[in-house]
Chains A and B, each alone.
Chain A
Amino acid sequence: MREPLLELRGLSTHYESARGTRVTRAVDDVSLSLERGKTLGIVGESGSGKSTLALSIMRLLPTAARIVGGQIRFEGEDLLAKSPREMREIRGKRIAMILQDPMASLNPLFTVGDQVSESLRVHEGASRKTAWTRARGLLEAVRISAPAARMTEFPHQMSGGMRQRIVGAIAVACEPRLLIADEPTTSLDLTIQAQYLSLLRELQREHDLAMIFITHNLGIVAKMCDAVAVMYAGRVVEAGPIRQIFNKPAHPYTRALLDSVPRLTDDSHARLPAIDGQPPDPSAPPAGCAFHPRCPQALERCREQAPPSLTVAVAQTARCWLHVP
Chain B
Amino acid sequence: MYHLDGTDVLDERYYQKTRSVCPECLKVIDAEILEEDDQIWMKKNCKEHGDFKDKISSNAKYYKWTHYGTDEWNFLKNGEVNPPDCESTDPRGCPYNCGLCDQHLSSCSLALIDLTNRCNFNCNFCYANVQKAGYWIEPSLEELDRIMNHFRSKPMPPPSIMFTGGEPTVRADFPEICAMAKKHGFQEVIVATNGYGFQKKNGGLEWTKKVLESGVDTLYFQFDGINNITYEKTRGIKNLMNYKMRVIENCRKAGLSSIVLVATIAKGITDIEIGNIIQFAIDNIDVVRGITFQPVSLCGRISHEDLTGLRITNADVIQEIDNQTGGKIGIENAWYPLSTVVEMGRIISYLADVEPVEFTCHPDCGFATYMVLDPDTNEMVPLMEYFDPLKIVDFSNRFWEKIKKKEKQPIKFFENILGEFGQTLDKGLNWLNKQQLKARFLMGMLQYTKKPGKLMELFTRVLLNGNWESISSFTHGTLLISSMHFQDAYNFNVERAKRCIVHFGIAMPDGSVKECSFCTMNTFHRPHIEKAIAKKLTEKVKNEFDTTVGLLTEEVKQEVARNGGQEKGE
Do chains A and B stick together as partners?
no
Binding site for A on B (CB under 8 A): none
Binding site for B on A (CB under 8 A): none
